[in-house]
Structure formats: structure tokens, C-alpha cells
Amino acid sequence: MSNIVAIVGRPNVGKSTFFNRLIQRREAIVDAVSGVTRDRHYGKSDWNGREFSLIDTGGYVVGSDDIFEAEIDKQVELAIDEADAIIFMVDVETGVTGMDEDVAKLLRKVDKPVFLAVNKVDNNKRAEDAVEFYSLGLGNYYTIASINGAGTGELLDALIEALPEKEEVVEEDLPRFAVVGRPNAGKSSFINALIGKDRYIVTDIAGTTRDAIDTKYNRFGFEFNLVDTAGIRRKSKVKEDLEFYSVMRSIRAIEHADVCLLVLDANRGFDGQVQNIFWLAERNRKGIVILVNKWDLVEKDHKSVKEYEKAIRKQVEPFTDVPIVFISALTKQRIYKAIETAVEVYQNRSKRIKTSELNDVFLPLIENYPPPAYKGKFVKIKYVMQLPTPQPQFAFFCNLPQYVKDPYKRFLENKLRDNFGFTGVPISVYMRKK
């Protein structure tokens, strides 16, 4: 699991520019996912071979500056609770403000690594002006210019050195299912319904993260680890509906799982926050099962299930091959089906397809539907194989990989799904030079 680094600070100091700079370097290479990534406030980055998750807290606060005053304290408190290290960003143009002092006051009490980054320092005069930030009482600062990346190397070197090493857990080969979703969707009730009064528990393992608890279950003939984020008591100061909070929690659980059971409240629907969590799981290439909970409370006619399902699939395009199970944690309706489905998705995610089989299916198919010619050049795909990665990734070897565009890659992905069944699992398709 990677460490979590949070970027905090008041609005307009350049947090997002810095964030985008760090993740794009990497996403340009790794995250070539078809379709747009909807959630721009969470990403993965790496520096000198150490990977970490990056959170831009500013992205979660919408509203004017006075609303922000109240929110920023919450953001910083959450970052202090959840992150492994904090980058506090200030702006040399405006100098030290009252809000900066408030944030510094909170950060001085923390025993986690805090890095003061003075942004917009792009000449010597500004470097001299930065000296006033010593007054925040956070010790040394780093001068950077997020717009062109100046100074970020020194900051990242120091950050990586200070990040705690995550202890590698010896993994058992049990599927790990994370129960995620927004607050009050019924995650706890679902877990309690699964466990039952007499707790079907083999062993209780404290999770590696201090907040996601792994419980080994053996029930319904399946053995699996449940990564439970629902039972975590939040700090009383944190408002239940804070989007940032759910996302923080979900990141930890998702990174730690093979399959995510995304629980949503049937009455609230597949709203923005649920979508955020869905795309987090998709971008981490995890298996996904959508559980529509509290289905017993919904007014239904004979079309309800189909229409509800259709609406969700519309919102998760182009990744529509995802199982949706309608459950009620209260009446235990279909909770067994939910686990059964998660096990199937887990098996799909670890599926290996023989190279000969892939080529038997794809070479005739590609001959009949070749990639469209580009600037008069014809792309010839000669060979396909599955890469030896934990999740399904396929390499198609051809003469001109740069000319194969997303629509054709999606066509190949759909054919992989039609022929080999990868329901619930994101697939990556790469074009490689033969």
C-alpha cells in the first residue's frame, strides 16, 4: 500500500497546479485509461521509485472565502488524521495571511512530517521575500514554482525520506473485499447482516492501516477477508457528510482490496460522491460490484430494477460491464448473492488467458475489422498476449502503435469481454511496437 500525502492551504495558492504537475508526470504513462477520469483531486505519484497517493484537499471545498474559513480547519484536521505526511502550501505574492497562521497553528501540534512549500518563487527577489514564512513556526521551508516545477525536486526528496515505510504484509491468497460507499448508505448494516449475531469469524486481523479492519470470514462456503471501513468511528469534529472524509477512507480501503463492494442508498441514487468512489476503484484497477441497498423501501413497479440499472450504467460509461445487485441489509435480501457476485468478480480479475487462445480469437477478428488507416498508413496487428500483472492487461503488438486510437482500443476491450468474460473488472489494452 502506498503512503498518503495531503496538500493543504488556503484557496488560490497553487495547490491544484502542483498536484496536477505531480500526477500528470505519472498518469501520462500509467493511467492511460480510456474515457475521462472524473475525479481530479486524488492521484498517484512516484518519486525515486517510491509510490504515494496524493490528495488535493482544496478540491473538496466549494464556495466563497468565508465558507472556506470554516471548512479549511476541517480539511486540515482530516488531513492530520488521515495522511502520512502533509504539504502546507503558501503564496509568496500575498505573504503570510491570517488564514495561513490558523493552519500553521493546527500543524504545529502534529507529530507527522509537515513540509512548508512557499509557492510562486520564480526569481531571486521572491526568494528573499520568502524569509517571512519562518514566522509560521514550522521551521525550514521549500521555495517552489508549481507552474514550471522549479524547486519541487528538493521538496519531494525530503518528503520521500520522511515517509514511513509501509510494512509489507504477507498476503494470504484469500480474496479481499472492501465495503465502501458514502456515509449512511448502510455499509455497517450490510456487514452486520453478513456476520450475523454469532459472528462467523475465523480470526480477527488488525489491518495494516490503523483504520481498515480485516476480518477473515468463512461463510456461504466462501472464505474471504472483509476490509471494513464502515465500523470506523469518526472524530466527533468531522461532519458526517464531508465528501473529503469518505474519499479519504475509501482510498485506504480500495488500495487494500481486490474487489470493492460499493454500497449505495437506493433512495439517494448514484450521486456525485458515489461516482467519485466508483472511479477511484476503477482507476486503481480493482474489481467492482455495485450494491443498491434499502431496495425494500423503494416504491416499485415491474420496470424499476431495469430502469434503475440502466440509469447507473449510463453514468459509468464506458465501463458498463459491472454487476449491480439490489439488496436490503435490513431484511438480508440477496446479501448472499452480493458475496457470490464478488467472488465471481475476484475470479475474473485473476483470470489468465493462454496466448494461443487469444490469438485464435483475435487474429481473424482483427483481419475482418482492422484499425482504421491513419494518414494513409495501415496498422497491422500481428500478435496479442496477456501481461503478467495482478489485474487483466493485454498487449497488442503492431507496426504503428501510435496510430491506434481509443475507439478501436475500446472495441478490442469489448471483444475481450465478450469472449472471455471479465465482468466487474477494468481491463487495460496497450499497443506495443512489434
Instruction: Report the binding-site residues for GTP.
Output: 9-16, 56-60, 119-122, 181-188, 228-232, 293-296
Using H for helix, E for strand and C for coil, what is the string for the chain?
A: CCEEEEEECCCCCCHHHHHHHHHHHHHCCCCCCCCCCCCCCEEEEEECCEEEEEEEHHHHCCCCHHHHHHHHHHHHHHHHHHCCEEEEEEECCCCCCHHHHHHHHHHHCCCCCEEEEEECCCCHHHHHHHHHHHHHCCCCEEECECCCCECHHHHHHHHHHHCCCCCCCCCCCCCEEEEECCCCCCHHHHHHHHHCCCCCEEEEECCCCCCCEEEEEEECCEEEEEEECCCCCCCCCCCCCCHHHHHHHHHHHHHCCCEEEEEEECCCCCCHHHHHHHHHHHHCCCEEEEEEECHHHCCCCCCHHHHHHHHHHHHCCCCCCCCEEECECCCCECHHHHHHHHHHHHHHHCCCCCHHHHHHHHHHHHHHCCCCCECCECCCEEEEEECCCCCCEEEEEECCHHHCCHHHHHHHHHHHHHHHCCCCCCCEEEEEEC
Q: Which residues are annotated as a binding site?
A: 9-16, 56-60, 119-122, 181-188, 228-232, 293-296
